[in-house]
Amino acid sequence: MMLHKLLPNRALALFAAMLVAFCAQADTEVVAQDEVLLKNGSRIFGTVTSSRNGVVTIDTDFAGTIDVHLDQIKSVSTLEPVVILLADETVKHESNLVITEEELVLSEPGQSYPLKDLMVVNPEPWEMGQGYRWTGNIGFALVRQRGNTDTDELDYKLESKWRSVRDRYTIQASGETDEADGTKTADNWRISGKYDYFLEDPNYVGMLVQAEKDKFQDLDLRYLVGPYFGRQFYDKPVFSLQGELGFSYVSEEYNLAEDDEYGASNWSIQASSDYLGGNSSLYFNQNGIWNLKDTSDVIVNSTFGLSYPLLWQIEAAVELLLEYDSGAVDDVDSLDQTYKFRLGYTW
């Protein structure tokens, strides 16, 4: 009789012990993650995978990947060592990431730094001086119309960059070929190559080589070569602004007009912003050539655009191109406007 009464009690006690052990294990699993405490009191548990441009990236089980700006964070603590790149280009290995009281605290070698000295967490090899990072995009806009007027249009655009800590190579190419009822109405292309050498941030110097042709602007070939000085005024995802100013030698060969060559001042402006969110980008690019022999002769090419990602690194973009040439030959408009919708692949 007593044995009969004891068995349920022992079973109940065993079940209670198992429940406590399970809860303790669950608590341990929750605690055994990196922790990010926000200034509003919220806590994020997950794995801190990187920090770059003032944004900390955390992989979580409940919400996927989360990006949090450093100025919203009160403290960070990681369980596993990370690689930390400081502002003076010092690399710290095998140190847990701890941020508290606006300071970066390293477990190895037990030092602390102002938070502004934190540049990158888990940097890519090129950011530590190992090789180059290759990025780029290629896009096409194709129009084919059949009816009262048969129209075929093909626009293409390519940009490829190789970036290291000390320098950068850039290749850009674009062009347009249009036909209406079997007759060409546009035939132009432009290609350029640039080399940049970085001085102390945010300045750099470079060399530009560029060639272009526009049959319907009477331009058989224009090529330009010369050095320039550049500055990265801002470099944040919410707003990036880069400008370049240089001097160059320009040679122009025309089909009908008289050929010309001259010294010129050339400039470039590039601005972008992710303000709209969703990994979209608003951007503005401008390139100009000012003829120093005939100061009334100015060439300005401007692009206003909005790009947004689709799938598998494919992006769509809408653009407005304004091409101005104050020295255009007779019977050719000095301002050419083009509206484009293109699809492209980025890497």
Q: Pick the closest to residue 299 from 202, 232, 212, 226 (CA basis).
A: 212
Question: Would you list the domain boundaries of the chain?
Answer: 1-28, 33-123, 133-346
* 3 state SS for 164-217: CCCEEEEEEEEEEEEEECCEEEEEEEEEEEEEEEECCCCEEEEEEEEEEEEHHH
- Give the C-alpha separation, 338 to 217, whole Å: 15
Handedness of CA 316, 322, 328, 329 (dihedral sign): positive
Compute φ and ψ for 269, nearest 5 degrees: -130, 130
Please state whether the predicted TM-score (pTM) of the whole model is above 0.75: yes
- Give the C-alpha separation, 187 to 212, whole Å: 11
Fold category of 133-346 in CATH: Porin (2.40.160)
- Reported as half-sphere exposure (CB side, CA atoms, 13 A), residue 96 has a value of 14
Judge whether 177 and 168 are in contact, CB under 8 Å: no
pLDDT by residue for the chain (347 residues), tens digit each? 444 444 455 555 555 555 555 555 544 444 578 999 998 988 999 999 999 888 899 999 888 888 888 888 898 988 888 998 988 888 888 788 888 888 888 876 668 888 888 889 999 999 888 999 999 999 998 777 676 667 788 899 999 999 999 999 999 999 989 888 778 888 899 999 999 999 987 999 999 999 999 988 889 999 999 999 999 999 888 899 999 999 999 999 998 889 999 999 999 999 999 989 888 999 999 999 999 999 999 999 999 999 999 988 999 999 999 989 887 766 667 888 888 888 999 99
Question: Tokens in use for 342?
Answer: 């293109």
Compute φ and ψ for 88, nearest 5 degrees: -85, 15
- Give the C-alpha separation, 128 to 169, whole Å: 18
